[in-house]
Amino acid sequence: MSVNFERAQLTDAPALVKVAVQAFHHDSVLYPQVAVGGPPGYDSVAFMRQKIREDICYKITDDDVIVGGIMIFKKSDEHYHLDLIFIAPAHHDRGIGTQAMHFIEAHLPATRWTLDTPIWAIRNIHFYEKLDYVKVGKIEEDDITLIMYEKHLTKSE
């Protein structure tokens, strides 16, 4: 296993969408009460290309094959928001998500990170809390309750 994180290119969009669909559709296997689907635009190559052009987007590769993606909004110089992180189900439970979170926290200048996840996504909740993200609230969005998380980092010069 040789996991790498690289800025996504427009040509990566179809492969990223393929993995996003696999990852988000797998939620309906993990949580049978959840319908097949995902966040807005997760299954659109055009939307993925827009994210790559406008936001901070990384592809996660394992032996040069795209196995996941990370989409981040820069809210301010110190505040970044993790919009999406997804990993192909065949690559779950291998520490790739933890490596990805450590990568973005180390390589981007944010001292404040925020993110949200659906209230039913117990696996995600455990994952973020394991990484010291703290629940700061809940919001209703598109008929889904999202738990909001935050983490503060100290950056050394």
Q: What is the mean pLDDT of residues 113-141?
A: 96
36-40, 66-70, 144-148, 150-154: least confident range: 36-40
Residue bearing the bigger pLDDT, 154 or 21: 21
Residue pLDDT, tens place only, 45-68: 999 999 999 999 999 999 999 999
Task: List domains and CATH numbers for the chain.
Answer: 3-152 (3.40.630.30)
Report CA Rg, the chain.
15
Q: What is the mean pLDDT of the chain?
A: 94
Q: Read out DSSP for 102-150? A: HHHHHHS--SEEEEEEETT-HHHHHHHHHTT-EEEEEEEETTEEEEEEE
The CA distance from 17 to 23, in Å, is: 10
